[in-house]
A and B are shown apart, each in its own frame.
Chain A
Amino acid sequence: MQSATAHAHETLGHDSHGDHAHHHDVSFIRKYVFSTDHKVIAKQFMLASLFFLFVGGLFALLIRWQLAFPGEAIPLIGNILPDTWVSDGAVTANFYTQLLTLHGTVMIFYVIIPLAVGMFGNFCIPLMIGTDDMALPRLNMYSFWLVPPAGLIMLTGFFFDSGAAAAGWTGYPPLGPSSGAGQTTWLISLFLIGFSSIMGATNYMATILNKRAKGLEMFQMPLTIWALFITAILIVLGTPVLAAAISMQLADQYLHTSFFMPDNLLIGAPDNSLLTGSFVQKGNELLEHKQLLGGGGQPILWQHLFWFYSHPAVYIMILPGMGIVSDVLATFARKPLYGYKAMIFAIMAIGFLGFIVWGHHMFQSGMNPLLGTTFMLSTIVIAVPSAIKIFNWLGTIWRGNIRFTSANMNALAFIATFIIGGLSGVFMASAPVDIYIHDTYFIVAHIHYVLFGGALFAIFSGIYYWFPKMYGKMLNESLGRKHFYWSFIFFNLTFYPMHLLGVGGHMRRIYNPYIYEFLQQYQPLNQFITVAAIILGFSQFILIFNILWSLKYGKKAPRNPWQANSLEWAAPAHPGHGNFDTDIQVYRGPYEFSHPDRETDFYPQWEKPKDEPQGDEKAVPETKEHSQSA
């Protein structure tokens, strides 16, 4: 421990010499691959997740193509894909369900969570609490290096004869445990990424509790850190329950246990003509065992265990975004965050309520209706802390001196789309309404308004905001704006019409909706959505191009490009291992913007109060009346 710290201090001196200054200290592998530096790990999370973002996006576009033009060959790639995936260049029904399953799983577990929690958690926590690294840097490295193998294990499913997981991203039994090897890779992959999440979250909590800079109280931390702290608690308490459920589903698959498989299940009955091939063979085995059994399992039990994790997981995905947006809005409105403590307590309330609402996913599962009512009430209560946050954000920007940077525009987009997603959430929280819209495109619209419109726009905002500190270069603002406008417009054109599809009765996971006469009228709308989705997907290349272009030709970033207050901006423009080149002492909270006694409109957390002598050119002239003796 001591030697590691000493080493960090030693290398710190080289920062100003740029990227390659301490090659002689650390080998290439240790510096860029198996690094324990939280900033490198954050960049690794970003790289891996952006890769998976494009994988998941490609899946989405294939799904969209099928819904718009069922049976028609996919342009460009349709005729080069293997026969197990396509017939005559069009996606097969079997492949469609695999795409649907993996689009959901990849986007949730390999894009949003690693970006929101893995990337920002790693990058922001040590910098924003003013310390040199995580509490346990090596654990941090392990937590990243579980992600690529876990993701690849899941994708290998596509190359099995039986295909990838196709039971939906929820993996409900009996379909889940009775499917083939693809489902196994899905389960193992989720187990690994869950373990990675727990290791990361444990580390975040220990770091925030133990390594805050001198003088930094818990209630002086930026909202991003608070949000990540509560998120980490959700991960630590929620993820292991999913791990237990996954173990039980794996046992159902391979040990022929019956945790989730009901007694005398019809799957595998030899005369069941609906089922064919190896499925029946495997099913027969199951049935033989079932006949020996006295008792069976309950499919709904899986749903309870799964949603006990996966509902908090929704907040795991959105809370970091809420934190990022709070910081970005306050900085670019040049105003203190409205209701700082109320915002923190609202996050805590959302985190707590998030654990007692999972049943609202199961109104249609045959759960006791009385139980459904309690879940309905607790779910609707979540609207209260969410509304507190919305109004406080509006209060923050109200009459502010707003700077429309790309980071801020994405943050504003977050508020707009999150309101729509939040309100459609209240529809579904109400059991009677949910019975009608359950399993329709209304749900798809809602989840994308919350996770794409909410979480992903917040993540974009965070990338634009912290990129200068990550790479020492400014992102190109004009490209950033273009990326924002294209994303925002085509995001709404893609997902808003899905509400209409859903209310019209368009099923959520259907391969070819037009076998139903009443859905045929929606084909033009589906085609419109698909065109918008393709443009939305290709708009993301603007971001990638911007990142690559700015890395090479971008303007060199100053230390504090946004004139923000929190501690990460006290670090050098492109901090090396060890982060800071000065000691950090914290004097105030992170949102002291437009302080009436100051000439500049920001008052950094690390700046000494002016009655104490300081050799800084920014120090305001000595005056007597500044003291806060009111």
Chain B
Amino acid sequence: MSSGLSLAHEPVTKVAHGKLAMWIFLASEIMFFTGFFGAFIVLRNSNLELFSHSAAELTKGYALLNTFILIGSSLTMALSVLNLEKGNIGKFKLFLGLTILCGFGFIIVKTIEYTTKFSHHIFPWTNVFFSFYFLMTGFHAIHVIAGMIPMTFMFIKAFTKKGYNHPVKVETLGLYWHFVDLVWIFLFPVLYLIFPAH
């Protein structure tokens, strides 16, 4: 009686379970960062002067570099998915490795940036702008690291005898990675670029 049951049929929406759940989770993530952006807007409006002075002290160069690194990593992530789907295992590994490298690059630049701030006696409690700066970029960096963990896992597995052949999982991780990239695209102008010119 147990044979022939087909309860676990194809997904009704034709989107794999994990991928669908990732889209829903990303909606949740958007709201998480919206909480910060919303609070930022409110407190910026009540402290305009302070926010523009403080924003001028951030190093746009580091942020620009990190923007290129992250956008580049999104490209390599997409290419690695594409190559895994086509079965080009070599290129899949190459591009996934490059994505991980970009992630490390981002974290290193971020660390240098934070250290420079600390050496200039700028800390999260310095003022409310820097509170936002450290908390928002900090949470973003945690998201970058959280994405790199399963990525590294897949990368290492790809070199085992069995290899790694789950294009949908890599694609799902890619969705997350592009989202993290997108958050940065918002953080960069909001924190570093928007302030009245002096």
Once bound together, how far apart are the Cα atoms of A257 and B135, in whole Å?
A: 10
Q: With A136-B17, A202-B28, A210-B17 in contact, is A581–B2 under 8 Å at CB?
A: yes
- Residue ID in chain B nearest A236 by CB atoms: B28
- Residue ID in chain B nearest A241 by CB atoms: B35
Tell whether B11 is near chain A: CB-to-CB under 8 Å: yes
Q: In the assembled complex, which residues on chain B have CB atoms less than 8 Å from the CB atom of A258?
A: 125, 127-128, 131
Interface size on A, as a range, is 35 or more
Interface 9-residue window, one of B39-47, B63-71, B151-159: B39-47
Q: With A244-B33, A257-B125, A294-B47 in contact, is A9–B24 under 8 Å at CB?
A: no
B50/A294 in contact, CB under 8 A: yes
Residue in A5, A10, A13, A289 whose beta carbon sits within 8 Å of that of B8 in the complex: A5
| Interface of A: prevailing SS | helix
Q: With A259-B39, A298-B43 in contact, is A206–B27 under 8 Å at CB?
A: no
Interface centre among A206, A245, A578, by most chain B C-beta atoms within 10 angstroms, is A206
How close is B186's CB to chain A, nearest CB, in angstroms? 14
B35/A294 in contact, CB under 8 A: no
Tell whether B4 is near chain A: CB-to-CB under 8 Å: yes
Query: How many residues of B are in contact with the other chain, CB < 8 A?
Result: 49
Q: Residues 120-139 of chain A: 1 if any B CB is under 8 Å from the residue's CB, otherwise 0?
A: 00000000001110011001
Q: In the assembled complex, which residues on chain A have CB atoms less than 8 Å from the CB atom of B13?
A: 209-210
Q: Residues 8-43 of chain B: 1 if any A CB is under 8 Å from the residue's CB, otherwise 0?
A: 110111010110110011011101111110110011
B7/A583 in contact, CB under 8 A: yes
Q: With A241-B35, A295-B50 in contact, is A9–B5 under 8 Å at CB?
A: yes
Q: In the assembled complex, which residues on chain A have CB atoms less than 8 Å from the CB atom of B50?
A: 294-295
Tell whether B160 is near chain A: CB-to-CB under 8 Å: no
Q: Residues 283-320 of chain A: 1 if any B CB is under 8 Å from the residue's CB, otherwise 0?
A: 00000010011111110010011001000000000000
A259/B21 in contact, CB under 8 A: no
- Residue ID in chain B nearest A137 by CB atoms: B17
Tell whether A214 is near chain B: CB-to-CB under 8 Å: yes
Tell whether B6 is near chain A: CB-to-CB under 8 Å: yes
Tell whether B1 is near chain A: CB-to-CB under 8 Å: yes
Once bound together, how far apart are the Cα atoms of A243 and B33, in whole Å?
A: 10
Interface centre among B17, B46, B135, by most chain A C-beta atoms within 10 angstroms, is B17
Tell whether A255 is near chain B: CB-to-CB under 8 Å: yes
Interface residues of A in 300-356 (CB under 8 A from B): 301, 304-305, 308
Tell whether B124 is near chain A: CB-to-CB under 8 Å: yes
Q: With A241-B34, A244-B36 in contact, is A206–B24 under 8 Å at CB?
A: yes
Once bound together, how far apart are the Cα atoms of A243 and B31, in whole Å?
A: 10
Residue in B5, B21, B127 whose beta carbon sits within 8 Å of that of A293 in the complex: B127
A251/B128 in contact, CB under 8 A: no
Once bound together, how far apart are the Cα atoms of A621 and B17, in whole Å?
A: 43
Residue in A135, A292, A296 whose beta carbon sits within 8 Å of that of B17 in the complex: A135
Once bound together, how far apart are the Cα atoms of A289 and B17, in whole Å?
A: 49
How close is B39's CB to chain A, nearest CB, in angstroms? 6
Once bound together, how far apart are the Cα atoms of A251 and B42, in whole Å?
A: 18
How close is A22's CB to chain B, nearest CB, in angstroms? 12
Once bound together, how far apart are the Cα atoms of A24 and B6, in whole Å?
A: 25
B7/A131 in contact, CB under 8 A: yes
B131/A255 in contact, CB under 8 A: yes
Tell whether B118 is near chain A: CB-to-CB under 8 Å: no
B21/A202 in contact, CB under 8 A: yes
Q: With A132-B7, A236-B24, A240-B28 in contact, is A251–B135 under 8 Å at CB?
A: yes
Tell whether B3 is near chain A: CB-to-CB under 8 Å: yes
Q: With A259-B128, A298-B46, A305-B39 in contact, is A13–B27 under 8 Å at CB?
A: no
B27/A236 in contact, CB under 8 A: yes
Q: With A210-B11, A211-B11, A240-B32 in contact, is A13–B25 under 8 Å at CB?
A: no
Q: In the assembled complex, which residues on chain B have CB atoms less than 8 Å from the CB atom of A213?
A: 7
Q: In the assembled complex, which residues on chain B have CB atoms less than 8 Å from the CB atom of A212?
A: 12
Tell whether B62 is near chain A: CB-to-CB under 8 Å: no
How close is B72's CB to chain A, nearest CB, in angstroms? 28
How close is B111's CB to chain A, nearest CB, in angstroms? 18
Once bound together, how far apart are the Cα atoms of A201 and B24, in whole Å?
A: 9
A210/B32 in contact, CB under 8 A: no
Q: In the assembled complex, which residues on chain A have CB atoms less than 8 Å from the CB atom of B38?
A: 304-305
Tell whether A144 is near chain B: CB-to-CB under 8 Å: no
Once bound together, how far apart are the Cα atoms of A308 and B129, in whole Å?
A: 23
Cβ contacts A to B, 11 pairs, < 8 Å: A8-B8, A237-B27, A237-B31, A244-B32, A255-B124, A259-B132, A295-B47, A297-B128, A298-B42, A308-B35, A583-B7
Since A295-B47, A295-B128, A578-B7 are in contact, a sample of 15 more A-B pairs with Cβ atoms closer than 8 Å, ordered by chain A residue number, is: A13-B1, A139-B21, A198-B28, A205-B21, A207-B17, A210-B17, A237-B27, A241-B34, A244-B35, A248-B135, A251-B131, A294-B49, A295-B50, A295-B127, A298-B42
Report, nearest first, the 10 A-B pairs whose CB atoms are least far apart.
A244-B35, A295-B47, A240-B32, A257-B131, A135-B17, A13-B2, A256-B125, A210-B11, A295-B50, A206-B21
Residues of B bordering A, CB below 8 Å:
1-9, 11-13, 15, 17-18, 20-21, 24-25, 27-29, 31-36, 38-39, 42-43, 46-47, 49-51, 53, 124-129, 131-132, 134-135, 139
